[in-house]
Chains A and B, each alone.
Chain A
Amino acid sequence: DAGVTQSPTHLIKTRGQHVTLRCSPISGHKSVSWYQQVLGQGPQFIFQYYEKEERGRGNFPDRFSARQFPNYSSELNVNALLLGDSALYLCASSLASGGGRDEQFFGPGTRLTVL
């Protein structure tokens, strides 16, 4: 069975540009969460979507947005890129909307470099 897939694997952008990152959850999973992992730090929660609705949002500026499609895949969009947006962006899928035993399965991430 395919795990969580993310595309692209690597991406280089320049300041001021925008970027779209994509995630396909495990089949049957309805929830997708996005995390930003800056080098040397732990992942920081950005968004969670469940059944196409936003269920949680982390402390990120409005330049960050996301959406979930009817097939439960998701896109993360970042506008007006800053150097500090350079990071590994991780997508995680789970069966339900949350709760301790609702295990999140992580994809390999998209490495974004902003020059």
Chain B
Amino acid sequence: GEDVEQSLFLSVREGDSSVINCTYTDSSSTYLYWYKQEPGAGLQLLTYIFSNMDMKQDQRLTVLLNKKDKHLSLRIADTQTGDSAIYFCAERDRSSASKIIFGSGTRLSIRP
């Protein structure tokens, strides 16, 4: 079945770049997503990438997609304290368009 995996923790210094990595198993996924969850809040869609793209940039966020290795990454430039959150990688289920499959999340902490 489909599976999305990501590392659990990442710690970076304020002002540095953060890179959060994710691997997925469904090679036919059409859309891949990055969500952000802050304490006590719901999920916020940060960005998404279509499978025919290799890269997408949106202000401080850069998404890289390597379809051959089924690897997705999110780079946050100039990381700020407000970026502290859990980041979820997710893919659209190919058999059910309504279903999004999430990874377990990467907790990003910022050091001063």
Residues of A within 8 A of B (CB): 4, 31, 33, 40-45, 48, 50, 55-56, 58, 90, 92, 97-101, 103-109
Tell which of B13-21, B54-62, B70-78, B93-101 binds the partner: B93-101
Instruction: State which size class the interface on B falls in.
Output: 20 to 34
Q: Identify B97's interface contact among A41, A43, A58, A98, CB under 8 A.
A: A98
What CA separation (Å) do A40 and B8 show in the bound complex?
9
Q: Which of B4, B92, B102, B104 has the most CB of A within 10 A?
A: B102
A97/B97 contact (C-beta < 8 A), A42-B102, A42-B104, A108-B40 known:
yes
Within the complex, the shortest CB–CB distance from B86 to chain A, in Å, comes to 9
User: Which residues of B are at the interface with A, using a C-beta cutoff of 8 A?
Assistant: 4, 30-31, 40-45, 48, 50, 88, 90, 92-93, 96-105
Q: Which of A43, A44, A45 contacts B43 (CB 8 A)?
A: A43
Q: What DSSP secondary structure best describes chain A's contact surface? A: loop
Chain A residues closer than 8 Å to B42, beta-carbon distance: 4, 90, 106-109
User: Contacting A56 at CB < 8 Å: which of B41, B44, B99, B104?
Assistant: B99
Residue among A40, A58, A92, A100 making CB contact with B31, cutoff 8 Å: A100
A41 in contact with B44 (CB, 8 Å): no
Cβ contacts under 8 Å, B44 to chain A? 106
**Chain B residue at minimal CB-CB distance from A54:** B98
19 A-B pairs (CB sep. < 8 Å): A4-B42, A41-B104, A43-B88, A43-B102, A44-B102, A45-B93, A45-B100, A48-B99, A58-B99, A90-B42, A90-B43, A92-B43, A97-B97, A98-B96, A99-B97, A104-B45, A107-B42, A108-B42, A109-B42
